[in-house]
């Protein structure tokens, strides 16, 4: 297809992007492959370090005893919900800012970045204040007894107020990635993870003049990492590169930018929240086969983010490229970037699968010595990861739709993925063929959903092309 030119509309600029010099991190010109590599490699490091936050906290808290470990386990659904909100608002921020950068309207991009940064903080503060106020009834409803509630309040009493900075950090990182800079956010995430890991044992157990704070110490360590990370990031955005302003723009710009961000961000957050709901249902199905299967499934679920780390990294670096080119009307580059990413991720995940099946016995022994658990972990590794390439197509398709300002399409696909395909097929498979069928049903679901997702993106691109053609 010949190169598409932008149309004069609100969705696309009047002039082709080559008529102006490219910005430092412009993603509308040059090699798509080089841009994706440049952005994705540092993102892998950043996301790996981000994963360590909860793992490190859990490890050191586990040394305090079973009660403390149980208490922090109770907090996971709530902390994951706040994390989903942070990721969703970040998705919205990236899509809006990158669109204006693609149009080469850098002033509007700066205004939108400013509004989005402050609105995200205010929105998160309001939501988290409500969660903090209803903390006791919330965790009581989840089944925590009085002793556990005391420990939960020690941890969440610090974590809740601090998590406002988490939302700010995720949103600000997304603004930088929208500018094509994934190196700085990755270094900040890595640095924050390191600070948390260093402070955890010091604040939990105490040393010298530093008192032992117990489970609260883990929360304070995380808070310190967020304060330092967001402080540096705000300085970087506001003063070093002047990508946001310290003063607010007009009310008209504030309201329009906020609506744009929330229109994409809230559905994206909702889509992320589908994951714990689906995993909870899958765990309930696994429980029907006994505790050994539940334990093995839990291990497998924790292995999955590591095995699909590149997919998760690309789900953060592909959207800015798509959004900038969407704003510039360069649908040819969107199509090329999307197709290139899918081809690569399918091949990569196949290689990961080959490694996993070779290493399955050793991986299983890292987590358990129980023969029944070992057997199920190995079975998990032999079956489920073969569908991770298809899962990659699903994830990248959803992030691409958000980047093209089609958040509801992405949300509907997430709902369909988990509750039309994944959970039902896994359940049917478990009834017909036991635990092997349970895993195989999930693989079949990923294959079917990958086809639906790719077709949805194809239709979205055709729709955008039709609008371009009709405006010429």
Buried b (16+ CB within 10 A) or exposed e, 273-297: bbeeebbebbeebbeebeebbbbbb
**The pLDDT value given to residue 18:** 39
Domain layout of the chain by residue ranges: 37-272, 288-472
**The pLDDT value given to residue 53:** 67
Give the Cβ contact number of residue 251 at 10 Å. 8
pTM: 0.78
Cβ pair 218, 200 in contact under 8 A: yes
**The pLDDT value given to residue 11:** 47
Tokens of 288: 């029907």
160/88 Cα distance (integer angstroms): 18
Tokens of 377: 């972990």
Per-residue pLDDT tens listing for the chain (472 residues) = 334 444 334 444 444 443 343 345 568 888 899 988 888 888 887 777 766 666 777 778 878 887 887 787 778 778 877 887 888 888 888 888 888 888 888 888 888 888 888 888 888 898 889 888 888 888 888 777 888 889 989 999 999 999 899 888 888 888 888 888 888 888 888 888 889 989 999 999 998 888 999 999 999 999 999 999 999 988 888 888 788 887 777 788 888 878 888 888 888 878 877 877 787 788 788 888 887 787 777 778 778 888 888 998 898 889 999 998 988 889 999 999 999 999 999 999 999 999 999 999 998 887 777 888 889 889 999 999 999 999 999 999 999 999 998 989 999 999 999 999 999 999 999 999 999 999 999 999 999 999 999 999 999 999 988 887 676 6
Q: For 207, phi and psi rounded to 5 degrees?
A: -165, 125
**The pLDDT value given to residue 472:** 60
Buried b (16+ CB within 10 A) or exposed e, 17-54: beeeeebebbbbbeebeebbebbbebbbbbbbbbbbbb
């Amino acid at each position: 297809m010949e190169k598409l030119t932008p149309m004069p509309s609100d969705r696309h600029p009047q002039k082709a992007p080559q008529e102006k010099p490219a910005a430092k991190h412009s993603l509308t010109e040059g090699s798509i492959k080089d841009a994706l590599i440049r952005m994705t490699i540092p993102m892998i490091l950043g996301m790996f370090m981000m994963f360590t936050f909860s793992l490190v906290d859990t490890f050191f808290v586990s040394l305090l005893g079973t009660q403390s470990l149980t208490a922090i386990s109770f907090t996971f659904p709530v902390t994951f919900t706040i994390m989903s909100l942070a990721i969703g608002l970040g998705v919205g921020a990236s899509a809006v800012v990158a669109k204006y950068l693609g149009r080469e309207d850098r002033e509007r991009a700066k205004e939108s970045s400013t509004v989005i940064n402050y609105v995200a903080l205010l929105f998160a503060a309001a939501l988290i204040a409500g969660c903090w106020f209803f903390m006791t009834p919330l965790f009581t409803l989840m089944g925590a007894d009085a002793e556990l509630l005391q420990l939960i309040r020690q941890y969440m009493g610090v974590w809740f107020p601090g998590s406002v900075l988490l939302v700010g950090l995720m949103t600000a990182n997304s603004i930088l990635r929208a500018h094509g800079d994934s190196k700085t956010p990755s270094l900040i995430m890595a640095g924050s993870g390191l600070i948390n890991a260093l402070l955890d044992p010091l604040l939990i157990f105490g040393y010298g003049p530093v008192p032992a704070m117990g489970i609260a110490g883990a929360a304070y360590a995380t808070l310190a990492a967020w304060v330092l990370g967001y402080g540096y990031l705000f300085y970087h955005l506001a003063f070093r590169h002047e990508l946001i302003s310290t003063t607010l723009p007009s009310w008209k710009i504030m309201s329009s930018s906020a609506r744009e961000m929330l229109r994409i961000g809230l559905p994206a957050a909702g889509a992320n929240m589908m994951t714990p709901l689906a995993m909870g249902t899958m765990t309930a199905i696994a429980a029907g086969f006994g505790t050994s299967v539940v334990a093995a499934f839990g291990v497998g679920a924790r292995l999955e983010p590591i095995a699909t780390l590149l997919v998760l990294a690309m789900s953060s670096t592909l959207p800015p490229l798509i959004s900038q080119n969407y704003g510039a009307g360069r649908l040819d580059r969107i199509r090329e970037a999307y197709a290139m990413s899918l081809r690569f991720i399918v091949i990569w995940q196949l290689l990961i699968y080959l490694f996993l099946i070779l290493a399955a016995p050793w991986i299983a022994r890292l987590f358990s010595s129980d023969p029944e658990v070992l057997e199920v972990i190995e079975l998990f590794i032999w079956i489920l990861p073969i569908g991770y390439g298809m899962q990659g197509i699903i994830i990248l398709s959803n992030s691409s739709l958000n980047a093209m300002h089609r958040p509801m399409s992405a949300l509907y696909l997430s709902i369909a993925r988990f509750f039309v395909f994944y959970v039902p097929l896994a359940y049917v498979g478990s009834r017909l063929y036991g635990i092997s069928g349970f895993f195989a049903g999930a693989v079949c679901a990923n294959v079917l959903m990958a086809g639906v997702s790719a077709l949805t993106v194809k239709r979205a691109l055709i729709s955008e092309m039709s609008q371009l053609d009709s405006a010429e």
